Structure 1
């Protein structure tokens, strides 16, 4: 599974704090007003407001930082760089502007420059977790998982419940094959973001790799609920995990559900065939395997090499179905 840090994290990674060193600041600036717009996802209103304020106070670094923040929330990461650079030019001690720039650069895939910006933020202030999270993200996306882990740990030393540091540490440990150590951090993250599908999948894969197959089921059920319109992958995975756990009848029910929803998908018939064979219902299992191969003949090779079919490797019908 690839690493992904997406727009959901912006709310924690972007900083708005930081005081201007200049006197030309907007006396009517309202943090609460902007926060209300962000909570309601009214980004256009916030952008319009900040542009109007900048016409009156063009030398206010906080307003330029705010504009960069709004543009990041809107997914306009390239456009966000200009106001953030302007904020830094006006106030080179504004850690939040450097941190927001690091986020923009991470989103644009310029991870090395994101590291430079995040380090500037850390040098100015090492009292907030966000700088360390953005630094960790850049290293993680460069596949420097041990280095990334150092920064996530620093973020958690500042705030031991920072959701995105928990997520970052969890997947760093996952990619370092420290699955058992990573699971508690991913679980704590999911408590904060219970509908985050990628986080749920990391928990599924972690338990699977630890051969804790039954432990994957609650997370797969949640993914199926969230992906109610297209749950095929999660349903198939659930059937497989139930099979590995020895719950063959439950696995059969899952695959019957897949067949009902996706009658032209070979996966459902293939999974059902395994569940039936494992229950000793060989003839019925072979009938389902035949259906899967008719829909997708690549399942010949899949079945031939699948250890779950080992009880019938010598069965003549199985041999006929899987030979070319």
Structure 2
């Protein structure tokens, strides 16, 4: 097994020092291999050494400008630093260089939300869900985007799938409750909001919505 693989396995087990040693050896053995730098960057990101991580991603890109995962890693650094425009630029470069997975589309969608481009976020969340149908987080964000664009029926389908994937997703139940209330189905709205509160008793929005429904019934 090569040092990159050893390092990845050590990282997955939380053995970060062992991973660092393995990735260092990989770089020594093949200094012109950009993947070793990406792996070391991922390790540094995992321990929140973001500036150092960025330097490793930049080195990988310097060696081979087509290293899509290096742009993705750099995008994650910028996203964690709340530099959403730069994160978006890096994610878009990763996409152009051939990276096409659910996580990348999900992160691009989140960037669009952060810069108030809700309509532009929609296709990224849709693609993230297409690439990973069991990703409850991506599906939830896709549902929120649809709801914000007043596509309520389509949003409800996504929220219903989320609660099937994750029965403890209080926010999805809350949003289902709001959607049913919007459609004037008070019984279903109340049922969904109560489920949200059962999962998360301090869910203030669900509690507030339930109170409004109760007041309107009086």
TM-score bracket, shorter-length normalisation: 0.7 to 0.9
Given the alignment, which residue of 136, 140, 152 partners 1:236? 140
| Residues 236, 271 of structure 1: 8 Å contact kept | no
Structure with higher Rg: it is 1
Aligned equivalent of 2:80, options 172, 175, 182: 175
| Residues 139 and 148 in structure 1, CA contact (< 8 A), matched pair in contact too | yes
The counterpart of 1:141, out of the listed 8, 33, 46, is 46
Structure 2 residue corresponding to 1:153, chosen from 46, 53, 58: 58
TM superposition shift of 1:207: 1.9
Q: CA deviation at 1:154?
A: 0.7
Query: Of 201, 205, 217, which residue of structure 2 is paired with 1:302?
Result: 205
> Which residue of structure 2 lines up, in the alignment, with residue 103 of structure 1?
8
Structure number with higher helix proportion? 2
Kept after mapping to 2: 8 A contact 1:180/1:210: yes
- Select 1:270's aligned residue among 159, 177, 202: 177
TM-score (norm 2): 0.75
Give the superposition deviation at 1:200: 2.2
In the TM superposition, what are the counterparts of 1:167-316 in structure 2 within 5 Å?
167-191=72-96, 192-194=98-100, 196-228=101-133, 230=134, 233-244=137-148, 247-248=149-150, 250=151, 252-258=152-158, 266-267=173-174, 269-273=176-180, 276=182, 284=184, 289-298=189-198, 301-304=204-207
1:159 Cα shift? 0.8
Shift of 1:188: 3.0
- Kept in 2, the 8 Å contact 1:208–1:216? The answer is yes
Per the alignment, do residues 159 and 212 of structure 1 end up closer, same or farther by CA in structure 2, a change over 3 Å counting?
same
Q: Structure 2, unaligned stretches of length 5 or more?
A: none
Q: Is the 8 A contact 1:183 1:206 kept in 2?
A: yes
Cα distance per residue 1:133-157 (max 9 Å; x no partner): 1221211111111110111001101
Q: Deviations over 1:24-72 (max 9, x none)?
A: xxxxxxxxxxxxxxxxxxxxxxxxxxxxxxxxxxxxxxxxxxxx15xxx
Report the TM-score, using the length of structure 1 for normalisation: 0.53
Alignment deviations for residues 44-101 of structure 1 (CA, whole Å, 9 cap, x no partner): xxxxxxxxxxxxxxxxxxxxxxxx15xxxxxxxxxxxxxxxxxxxxxxxxxxxx4444
For structure 1, the 5+ residue unaligned runs are: 1-67, 70-97
The RMSD of aligned alpha carbons is 3.4
Do the aligned residues in 1 keep the contact of 2:143 with 2:158 (CA within 8 Å)? no
Aligned length: 205
Q: SS state of the match for residue 270, structure 1?
A: helix
Q: Tell me the alpha carbon deviations over residues 211-230 of structure 1, each in whole angstroms, 9 at most, x when there is no partner.
A: 221122111111232344x4
Provide the secondary structure at the position in 1 that maps to 2:38.
helix
Deviation of 1:131 (Å): 2.4
Contact preservation (8 Å) 1:213, 1:242: no
Q: SS of 1:297's equivalent?
A: helix
